[in-house]
Structure 1
Amino acid sequence: MTRLLLLILLSLFLAGCATRPSGVTFHAEENPQSLDDWGLFDIKDGRITPRAGLVTYELATPLFSDYAQKWRAVFVPKGMAATYDPEKTFDFPVGTVIAKTFYYTTPAGFAPGQSSRVMKATPASYQSGVAGLDLSQSRLMETRLMVRRAGGWEALPYVWNAEQTEATLQRTGAAIPLEYIDGGKTTRFTYAVPNVNQCAGCHATDRTKALMPIGLQARHLNRDFPGEGGDINQLKRLAMIGYLKGAPDPAAAARNARYDDSTADVGARARAYLDINCAHCHSATGPARVSGLWLDSATKDLRKLGACKPPIAAGKGTGGHEFGLVPGHPDQSILAYRLATNDPGEMMPETGRSLTHAEGVALINEWIAGLKGGCGAAG
């Protein structure tokens, strides 16, 4: 009896070990409760690092999410590759996993996962494309997966525990109170993890309602970033490692500006900012296409950018303003107002933030102020 019991306990132990894969593991149908079951990361010696095949990347201009920093990585099955598209999201094969980990820097002296206090910081101090993410001053919030299955893309939000040892699937989302420290100013807000239905608000970018990744497009990836092969262009890296086929020389590909590059043209920076933050809805194929307001960087017609255009369905979101954009007058422009306000019924984007991105608003105001023309009496 004792021997039989030992055998049973041993089999259970071995079965438990088998549920923690040693490498990236694609689940074609199952949605594991634990992020560990995807085999994406190792946590050791104070760092979270990518497993073999999981490649870190960064966007030229990132989407604003309440000042959260983001560690982005993509896995493509061996022997397969995404197909390059000059404008749209690359066509990734079944088995692709995209992981975006949201995190904040914590003040010195606080245990990273235990404190509700987070602070403004530069991601480069804690993250690289080579060695993963330093956890000594980082609070992991969530890891959002986008998984390419036979039926299309699916989104799965995993929320990290306070000890930063495990993330679990939270299909209904989560609300986490935080205190954000920017210099001498502290702002209390609630960090919102979206539920799976809310993911469609940004990622369902066409009439079929099918989910699609946002950032894995040529214009967002066409920049240098440290990683496998050194500090090189990301399109070139993805092609070199076999993750991308059909890509041209980076010089021939679309390239968005970095919104915080003070040496770049203000217009290019502003358009890149609106592109990544707004164009997944406000485009010819996005959920907000009926508004007639298209904010992707390829749109050149100022009228489609809102210039002297009355809103169609903004409701009280107009802030009392008459036009979407009044050249020369950010203070009279609905676009600038909705980016600046925190009112849930008026702000844009509608989800994904509770705070105002002061630097982004300042950039858009500077751009609008430099536009010529006005709108009749408003100009």
Structure 2
Amino acid sequence: MHKLLWGAVLALMLVGCDAPREQVTVHEREAVPDNLSAWHVVEAIDGKLTLNERVVPYDLNTALFTDYAHKLRTVWMPEGTSAAYGEDDFDYPVGTVISKTFYYPLAEDGSVLRTDDYSGDFAGSGLNLDRVKLIETRILVKRDDGWQALPYVWNDQQTDAVLEIAGDAKRLKLVSTDGSAEEFTYVVPDFNQCAGCHADNHTEKAIRPIGPRARHLNKEYTYQSGKENQLSYWQQVGFLSGLPELSGVPQNVNFKDTEVALAERARSYLDINCGHCHNPNGPADTSGLMLAHDEQDLRRLGVCKPPVAAGTGSGDRRFAIVPGHPEESIINFRVESTDPGAMMPELGRSLVHEEGAELLHNWIAGMPGNCSKS
């Protein structure tokens, strides 16, 4: 009788326990799942978007603008593997899975909020699904023959996301802290658009990560265990090998940090938002306009540089940058436009990034010199 009683108690205890969570699963290229949950990287569980074991969140010094969306970025690598440090690119091991979840904080009426405040978003290292609206999660997975990009779109119930190779579009109302509202269409890129942005070497046409590079990752992140430099943390958990002294690692700045020189902030902003195309090997190499972090030639950076082709894309302005005159500069025209034939970046936004546009306006307005001899 005693044994039977304890057997019944044990059975009840086991029923009440949560089932063990499945480990991250790397699916073959030819058999990618229709549902994001099948990867077991980030999953909606009990009202939270949770990170699996050894899935590490990360952030960037300055991030690519995407219609004021908030982003939860993660990286996972197979047990016993690590990325090899490189100043421009890390050599990630086969099987690496990088995810980026786009979402917005929720307003009480169900609209989404335009805010820089992330404090209400998180539940542990994941997201509180009562407080946010999930839009999409993009997966980058490293294969034997290179990276594969996969866009998943979240359902309205926020229980799972579905693979949408053709992309998607969602009509949203964005509400600012002052109460003003703006309706817009959030566009989820299709597979080819994902590949187009991530193939920052136009010759190789190979997809690779844009954000998780040394200069973008070289910053502190608040983990559940406390604040720590992200690169040091990756090294500690075995995700990064060959990391030099942090003093020798390049570092972009936060474009919103007014304690930093205006030019540094503007260059960091251009690097992450434009440099993956506007570099000597990028899709925009024929433009001659180079906006990556390491460009030192002012002419190639756009100062008094005429466009390759005039017309709609240039706003009939003569030079990419006219020192002291943002109102005459093509760069300002394009970042302040929402015309698909003129705006830059040409993918990933439907709205003007007002803070970024203001930064570039102030930077160019303060430049010395003129283009009178050009």
Does TM, scored on the shorter chain, surpass 0.5? Answer: yes
**2:152 alignment counterpart:** 158
User: What secondary structure does 1:220 align onto?
Assistant: helix
**1:143 alignment counterpart:** 137
Matched residues, number:
353
**1:5 alignment counterpart:** none
1:169-218 deviation per Cα after TM superposition (whole angstroms, max 9, x unaligned)? 00000011111112232111110000000112211111111111100111
Give me the whole-angstrom Cα distance separating, in 1, the residues matched to 2:123 and 2:344: 31
> 211, 215, 221: which one pairs with 2:207?
211
Q: Structure 1 residue 150: deviation in Å?
A: 1.0
Q: Structure 1 residue 230: deviation in Å?
A: 2.1
The one-letter code sitting in structure 1 at the alignment partner of 2:175 is I
**2:293 alignment counterpart:** 297
Structure 1 position 59 matched with structure 2 position 55:
no
The one-letter code sitting in structure 2 at the alignment partner of 1:372 is P
**1:43 alignment counterpart:** 44
| Closer, same or farther: CA 94–129 of 1 in aligned 2, 3 Å | farther
| Closer, same or farther: CA 129–297 of 1 in aligned 2, 3 Å | farther
> 279, 282, 290: which one pairs with 2:278?
282
Structure 1 position 79 matched with structure 2 position 74:
no
1:328-368 deviation per Cα after TM superposition (whole angstroms, max 9, x unaligned)? 11111000110001111000001110000000000001111
Gaps of at least 5 residues in structure 1 are 1-17
> 181, 184, 190: which one pairs with 1:189?
184
Q: Structure 1 residue 130: deviation in Å?
A: 4.8
Asked if the contact 1:228–1:237 (Cα under 8 Å) also holds between the matched residues in 2, the reply is: no
Q: Structure 1 residue 126: deviation in Å?
A: 3.4
User: What secondary structure does 2:53 align onto?
Assistant: coil
Give me the whole-angstrom Cα distance separating, in 1, the residues matched to 2:123 and 2:321: 39
Q: Structure 1 residue 162: deviation in Å?
A: 0.6
1:307-344 deviation per Cα after TM superposition (whole angstroms, max 9, x unaligned)? 10100135411112100101111111000110001111
Give me the whole-angstrom Cα distance separating, in 2, the residues matched to 1:229 and 1:90: 25
Q: Structure 1 residue 129: deviation in Å?
A: 9.6
Give me the whole-angstrom Cα distance separating, in 2, the residues matched to 1:284 and 1:307: 17
Gaps of at least 5 residues in structure 2 are 1-18
**1:3 alignment counterpart:** none
User: What secondary structure does 2:118 align onto?
Assistant: helix
The one-letter code sitting in structure 2 at the alignment partner of 1:364 is L
| Closer, same or farther: CA 287–143 of 1 in aligned 2, 3 Å | same
**2:14 alignment counterpart:** none
> 212, 215, 232: which one pairs with 1:236?
232
User: What secondary structure does 2:270 align onto?
Assistant: helix
**2:106 alignment counterpart:** 106
Q: Structure 1 residue 134: deviation in Å?
A: 1.7
User: What secondary structure does 2:192 align onto?
Assistant: coil
Question: Percent sequence identity over matched residues?
Answer: 46
Asked if the contact 2:67–2:351 (Cα under 8 Å) also holds between the matched residues in 1, the reply is: yes
> 134, 149, 174: which one pairs with 1:180?
174
The one-letter code sitting in structure 2 at the alignment partner of 1:199 is C
The one-letter code sitting in structure 2 at the alignment partner of 1:167 is A
Asked if the contact 1:128–1:226 (Cα under 8 Å) also holds between the matched residues in 2, the reply is: no
Structure 1 position 334 matched with structure 2 position 330:
yes
Asked if the contact 1:145–1:157 (Cα under 8 Å) also holds between the matched residues in 2, the reply is: yes
The one-letter code sitting in structure 2 at the alignment partner of 1:252 is G
Give me the whole-angstrom Cα distance separating, in 1, the residues matched to 2:218 and 2:124: 18
**2:217 alignment counterpart:** 221
Moved more, 223-232 or 248-257: 223-232
TM-score, normalising length: structure 1 = 0.90
1:291-311 deviation per Cα after TM superposition (whole angstroms, max 9, x unaligned)? 111101111221111110100
